[in-house]
C-alpha cells in the first residue's frame, strides 16, 4: 500500500504547450505523466484538476489496473481524447511510481527487453524534393535506418509536414487556426517523384515512410498506394480518416503498400476492426492519447494476433514523458515495429530531463527506475501557457477539408 497524497497539474510552454500530471505518495515518492492534447490542452487540465485529482487522493498508487478501470468505467462517459489523455497521464505516473518502488526501469516490469534497441524514424522535410533528400541524407549520416519524406506540393503555398522559413516544423503555429489551401490532385501528382528521387539518391537500404495526414478518400489512397508500390515503402500513414474502419477494405483491395494509422485513436475500439480484418500493418496509437501503458498494451496484444505491429506516434506535441514511456513499452512488447522520433526543442529538454538516448538509429529508455523522465518545475514555471492551434485546410473552392 502506497497512498496517493497529492496530485497536481503543471501546464508549461517551453517552445510549445505541455500538460503534465505529478502524483505524490505518502511515502515521499512521485511519478509524472503526460496529458498533452495539442490545441485542446486546457480541456485535459480541467478534466484532471476538476474531475480526476479529487478521486485519486487516498487511493493505493500500486493498484494501477483498478485505478484505470475506476477512471474509465467509473466516469460512465467512456472514451474520447480528453478523457483518455487524462487517464493516460494517471497511468504513466503510477507506472513511474511502481518502477521507483521496485528500483527497476519500467521495461523490466513489463516483461523485460524483447530487443536491444528501439528503431526510430525521423522527419526529412523540405519545400522541394532536393531539400527533402538533402535532409534525409543528413539524418542517414547520423545513423537513422528509417526516414519519413515530406515535401512541398507545387501550386500549394504550404503543406502539412513542410516547415516555413527553414525553422523546425511545429504545426500548432497560431492562436487562431491558420487556413491552408489543399488540392488532392496536385498532391497525388507530386508524390511519386519524391519517392523516385528517394530511392534513386538514398538507395534501397533505408526505410522510407510518408504521412498523407488523413487527406485522401479510400479510392484515392488505393491509387496512391499503387503508384508508390515500386518504391517499397515501409508505410503510407493516415491515408484516409479512419472513423469508418470498414473503408480501409477498399484501400487494401488496390495496393500492397503497407498501411499505418492511429495517431488520433484513443481506444482499442477505434482499431478493433482494422486489426481483426488485417486492414492495416502498423497501429500508431500511443501512450498519451490511448489511455496509457495499461491500455496500449491491450491494443498491442490484440494487434499481435493479426500480424499488426506498432508504430507509436512521436511528434513534438507528445512530451518527453510520453517518449520515455513509449520507449519502455516498445522495448518490451513482441510485436514492435518502429517508433516516430521528431526532435524536441532544446528548451523543451531543459524542462523534461530524461534517461532515454539515441544511438545509430535506435533509442533506448535507459536504466533509471520508473520511466526515467522528470519535470523540472522551476524551469517549467518560466514558460506560461500560450494558446496555439493546428491549421485547417480548405479546398480550392473554399470547402473546409481535412488537415
Ligand atoms: O500532425 O502530432 O505523424 N505525425 C503527425 C503529427 C501530427 C501532430 C498533431 O498534433 O501526423 O505531426
Ligand atoms: Co501522422
pTM here is 0.98
Going by CA atoms, what residue is nearest to atom 5 of ligand 1?
315
pLDDT of residue 158: 87
Cβ < 6 A, ligand 1 pocket: 38, 171, 211, 213, 263, 313, 315, 317, 340, 390
Q: Assign a CATH topology to domain 109-368.
A: TIM Barrel (3.20.20)
Q: Which fold has domain 4-105?
A: Enolase-like; domain 1 (3.30.390)
The residue whose CA is least distant from atom 8 of ligand 1 is 315
120-149 pLDDT, tens digit per residue, is: 999 999 999 999 999 999 999 999 999 999
- Testing ligand 1's pocket by substitution, the residue of 36, 44, 213 carrying the most ligand atoms inside 8 A of its CB is 213
Query: If you average pLDDT over every residue of the chain, what do you get?
Result: 97
Enumerate the CATH 3.20.20.120 domain ranges in the chain, comma separated.
109-368
| Lookup result for grid cell 528509417 | 146
Nearest ligand by distance to the CA of 160 = 1
pLDDT at residue number 165 = 77
pLDDT digit string (tens) for 198-254? Answer: 999 999 999 999 999 999 999 999 999 999 999 999 999 999 999 999 999 999 999
Query: Where exactly does CATH 3.30.390.10 map onto the chain?
Result: 4-105
Reading the chain (403 residues) residue by residue, the pLDDT tens digits are: 899 999 999 999 999 999 999 999 999 999 999 999 999 999 999 999 999 999 999 999 999 999 999 999 999 999 999 999 999 999 999 999 999 999 999 999 999 999 999 999 999 999 999 999 999 999 999 999 999 999 999 999 988 999 887 788 999 999 999 999 999 999 999 999 999 999 999 999 999 999 999 999 999 999 999 999 999 999 999 999 999 999 999 999 999 999 999 999 999 999 999 999 999 999 999 999 999 999 999 999 999 999 999 999 999 999 999 999 999 999 999 999 999 999 999 999 999 999 999 999 999 999 999 999 999 999 999 999 999 999 999 999 999 999 9
Taking the CA of residue 172 as reference, the ligand 1 atom at the shortest distance is 10
Ligand 1 centre distance from Cα of residue 323 (Å): 14
Amino acid at each position: 500500500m502506497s497512498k496517493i497524497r497529492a496530485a497536481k497539474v503543471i501546464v508549461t510552454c517551453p517552445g510549445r504547450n505541455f500538460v503534465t500530471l505529478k502524483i505524490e505518495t505518502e511515502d515521499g515518492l512521485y511519478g509524472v505523466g503526460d496529458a498533452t492534447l495539442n490545441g485542446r490542452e486546457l480541456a485535459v487540465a480541467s478534466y484532471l484538476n476538476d474531475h480526476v485529482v479529487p478521486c485519486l487522493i487516498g487511493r493505493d498508487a500500486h493498484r494501477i489496473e483498478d485505478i484505470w478501470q475506476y477512471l474509465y468505467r467509473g466516469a460512465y462517459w467512456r472514451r474520447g481524447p480528453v478523457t483518455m489523455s487524462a487517464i493516460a497521464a494517471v497511468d504513466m505516473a503510477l507506472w513511474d511510481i511502481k518502477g521507483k518502488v521496485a528500483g527497476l526501469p519500467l521495461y523490466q516490469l513489463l516483461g523485460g527487453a524483447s530487443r536491444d534497441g528501439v528503431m526510430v524514424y525521423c522527419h526529412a522535410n523540405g519545400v522541394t524534393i532536393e531539400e527533402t533528400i538533402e535532409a534525409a541524407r543528413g539524418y542517414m549520416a547520423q545513423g537513422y535506418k528509417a526516414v519519413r519524406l515530406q515535401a512541398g506540393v507545387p501550386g500549394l503555398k504550404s503543406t502539412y509536414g513542410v516547415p516555413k522559413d527553414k525553422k523546425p516544423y511545429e504545426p500548432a503555429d497560431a492562436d487562431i487556426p491558420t487556413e491552408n489551401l489543399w488540392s488532392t490532385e496536385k498532391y497525388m501528382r507530386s508524390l511519386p517523384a519524391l519517392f523516385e528521387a528517394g530511392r534513386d539518391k538514398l538507395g534501397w537500404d533505408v526505410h522510407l515512410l510518408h504521412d498523407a495526414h488523413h487527406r485522401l478518400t479510400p479510392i484515392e489512397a488505393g491509387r496512391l498506394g499503387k503508384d508508390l508500390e515500386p518504391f517499397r515503402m515501409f508505410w503510407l500513414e493516415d491515408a484516409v480518416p479512419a472513423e469508418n474502419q470498414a473503408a480501409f477494405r477498399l484501400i487494401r483491395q488496390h495496393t500492397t503498400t503497407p498501411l499505418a494509422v492511429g495517431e488520433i485513436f484513443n481506444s482499442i475500439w477505434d482499431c478493433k476492426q482494422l486489426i481483426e480484418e488485417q486492414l492495416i500493418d502498423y497501429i500508431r496509437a500511443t501512450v498519451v492519447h490511448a489511455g496509457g501503458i495499461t491500455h496500449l498494451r491491450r491494443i498491442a496484444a490484440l494487434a499481435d494476433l493479426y500480424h499488426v505491429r506498432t508504430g507509436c506516434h512521436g511528434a513534438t506535441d507528445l512530451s518527453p514523458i510520453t517518449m520515455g514511456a513509449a520507449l519502455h513499452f516498445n522495448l518490451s512488447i513482441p510485436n514492435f515495429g518502429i517508433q516516430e522520433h521528431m526532435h524536441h526543442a532544446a528548451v523543451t529538454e531543459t524542462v523534461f530531463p530524461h534517461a532515454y538516448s539515441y544511438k545509430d538509429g535506435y533509442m533506448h529508455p535507459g536504466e533509471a527506475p520508473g520511466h526515467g523522465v522528470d519535470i523540472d518545475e522551476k524551469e517549467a514555471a518560466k514558460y506560461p501557457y500560450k494558446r496555439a492551434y493546428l491549421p485547417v485546410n480548405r479546398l480550392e473552392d473554399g470547402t473546409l477539408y481535412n488537415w
